[in-house]
Structure 1
Amino acid sequence: MTVIDAPGTDRYPTRVADRPSLVERTDPTVWGGHHTPGPLSPDDLSAHDRDGFVTVPELLTPAEVAAYSAELDRLATDPQVRADDRTIVEKTSREVRSIFEVHKISDAVAALVADERVAGRARQILGSDVYVHQTRINYKPGFGGGGFYWHSDFETWHAEDGMPTPRAVSISIALTENYPHNGCLMIMPGSHRTFVACVGETPADHYKESLREQEIGTPDQESLTALADRHGIAMLTGPAGSATLFDSNCMHGSGSNITPYPRSNIFAVFNSVENTLQEPFAAPAPRPTYIAAREFTPIPD
């Protein structure tokens, strides 16, 4: 049974107390059941329910990987794109770190996000029509691509965007080989079942700093140690063209890339149309819509 919250109801309070806490999740992970028709098998859906993530070894063909890689290179070197507020650069190297709302900039990425291989899997997991909450390209160049500290996306989307429940799923599509040593995605399997309430009041316009390096909204070391001891840490490696779908509340992160081997991916977040954004639960104002969409039109089947 799905819990329908009244506007403003907060079952996942965060950034409001002086001590962190662990809140056990009451919401499902696979909202439509393990036998919902679609690209994912019942075993895939069971794995996602258990671990909070599921991998797809060959989502894209080699030809598609080459085409999307060329598109990423084009976007990263386009002066207009670089000057856009949607583009985030590294604090030190000034190389492009992320480009947000990339499906509004690139027709090729827009088509991929709406593809049944991608959106269809999100519908299966979330048990409803879905809309795009966020898209971005993450670049992690060799010899200097910065890491992403441990965090739950849902904690930020709840606190700063007003997402009521963790009924959202992300997909990270690799366009380069993901090795253990070039900053691959790390997830604590099963951590999606525990919400870590963080400390620290959200400053105005926090996103301007947090997209480069997040501090507010990151878990404390004691909570991270407890989750790691309980669940362990999975390093998600794989070839270009592979993908990982993961629950919005998974505790995840990635290290810096000091190797010669770049790591880049297309990242899309799908939210249920039954989980649309409210006012932020722990921030003075919503973030810009290129980071958290407030247009809830479903992606067509």
Structure 2
Amino acid sequence: MKQVLSDEQVKAYHRDGYVIVRNFFSAQEIGKLYEVAIDDEQMRKNALDLNDKSGFKTKLSLWFTPGDDVYGLATRSERMIGGAAQLLDSDSPVCHFHSKLMQKEPKVGGAWEWHQDYGYWYKNQFMFPDQMLSVMLALTIANQENGCLQVIKGSHKLGRVNHGFSGEQVGADMIFVENALKTMDLVYVELNAGDALFFHANLLHRSAPNLSDYARWSLISCYNAQSNPAYNEKTFSYLTPVEVVSDSAILDAKDLVGLSENTDLLKKEDDPALKETGWEEEVETN
């Protein structure tokens, strides 16, 4: 696997919990991705609406097995897998846990409360958070006006923070978040279409509602090292090494398609993160 990230980018990820890679995908590639996404019937039919604590809705569609559709060609690309391999704390093959299309529509797109991805994935009983990460690929511009991601720099070093329910979402204990904000820097992750953000499973992050006049869409792919077991996960993509495709796959494809009817999309009632375990009542999320 070729080296995708520089030594300085790898060092920044381990120090800060994230690294931004500008122009990770070309404008032409992003144009093709977005064009398919906005007309994807399966994506639209299977989108989950998750209310934030203020009642605004955030829409996402989540699937596990990456296919030969346009999203699969992106998530299986050599640059995505090579970058993940450089950052995961394991020498075992990179596997695809899931991908999701985040759709924050103008004026109505809801917030994501403060959380760590491992705050969700802990309920799947993944063992090693250092062997998991996410890559957010911006399909549209993301800035403070349309509710871009906010991160607490270096917060991945805190370990897992307790999480409870905040609206229909899972949110981090706000007492701990407020202490983190007194100690570490808050960063607004402003991205142009085609920029990518690699971030650690324990990085505290949130996003505000989209009250602007334009949408904010992103593709987020979550990767797991094959050496990292999960004892409460019924799907198997997280243990299946990715079949890597060329970085030119999107531009080389004659026909680009969206999700098929056979795609293993997540249903809200099947998500372990949204099921009560008992400890959530002890967490202050407001």
Distance in 2 of aligned mates of 1:141 and 1:277: 33
Distance in 2 of aligned mates of 1:111 and 1:294: 16
C-alpha displacement at 1:102, in angstroms? 7.0
Aligned match for 1:89, one of 46, 49, 52: 49
Give the corresponding residue for 1:299.
242
Q: Is the Cα–Cα contact under 8 Å of residues 169 and 248 in structure 1 kept in the other structure?
A: yes
1:264 and 2:217 are equivalent in the alignment:
yes
Distance in 2 of aligned mates of 1:164 and 1:93: 33
Aligned match for 1:164, one of 109, 112, 127: 127
Q: Is the Cα–Cα contact under 8 Å of residues 189 and 233 in structure 1 kept in the other structure?
A: yes
C-alpha displacement at 1:199, in angstroms? 6.0
Distance in 1 of aligned mates of 2:238 and 2:185: 37
Give the corresponding residue for 1:274.
227
Give the corresponding residue for 2:195.
242
What's the RMSD between the two structures over aligned residues?
2.4
Distance in 2 of aligned mates of 1:132 and 1:239: 25
- TM-score where L is the length of structure 2: 0.76
Q: Is the Cα–Cα contact under 8 Å of residues 103 and 109 in structure 1 kept in the other structure?
A: no
Distance in 1 of aligned mates of 2:44 and 2:223: 25
Structure 1 segments unaligned to the other structure (5+ residues): 1-35, 201-208, 280-285
- TM-score where L is the length of structure 1: 0.73
C-alpha displacement at 1:276, in angstroms? 2.1
Aligned match for 1:119, one of 81, 96, 100: 81
Aligned match for 1:132, one of 89, 96, 109: 96
C-alpha displacement at 1:103, in angstroms? 5.7
CA shift in 2, pair 1:114/1:106, >3 Å: closer
CA shift in 2, pair 1:170/1:107, >3 Å: same
Number of equivalent positions = 238
Q: Is the Cα–Cα contact under 8 Å of residues 67 and 73 in structure 2 kept in the other structure?
A: no
SS at match of 2:109: coil
Distance in 1 of aligned mates of 2:68 and 2:206: 26
CA shift in 2, pair 1:114/1:251, >3 Å: same
What CA deviation, in whole Å up to 9, does each residue of 1:136-158 have, x standing for no partner? 10000111101100001112101
CA shift in 2, pair 1:156/1:73, >3 Å: same
Give the corresponding residue for 1:23.
none
User: Which amino acid in structure 2 is aligned with residue 73 of structure 1?
Assistant: I
Using the aligned pairs only, state the percent identity.
Answer: 24
Give the corresponding residue for 1:16.
none
SS at match of 2:212: coil
C-alpha displacement at 1:104, in angstroms? 4.6
Map 1:1-301 → 2, pairs under 5 A: 38-75=3-40, 78=41, 80-84=42-46, 87-89=47-49, 91=51, 97-101=59-63, 104=66, 107-126=69-88, 127-128=90-91, 129-158=93-122, 160-166=123-129, 167-198=131-162, 213-215=168-170, 218-279=171-232, 286=233, 289=235, 293=236, 296-300=239-243
Q: Is the Cα–Cα contact under 8 Å of residues 137 and 267 in structure 1 kept in the other structure?
A: yes
Structure 1 stretches of at least 4 aligned residues deviating more than 3 Å after TM superposition: 80-84, 90-94, 102-106
Distance in 1 of aligned mates of 2:117 and 2:37: 23
CA shift in 2, pair 1:294/1:99, >3 Å: same
User: Which amino acid in structure 2 is aligned with residue 271 of structure 1?
Assistant: N
Structure 2 segments unaligned to the other structure (5+ residues): 245-286
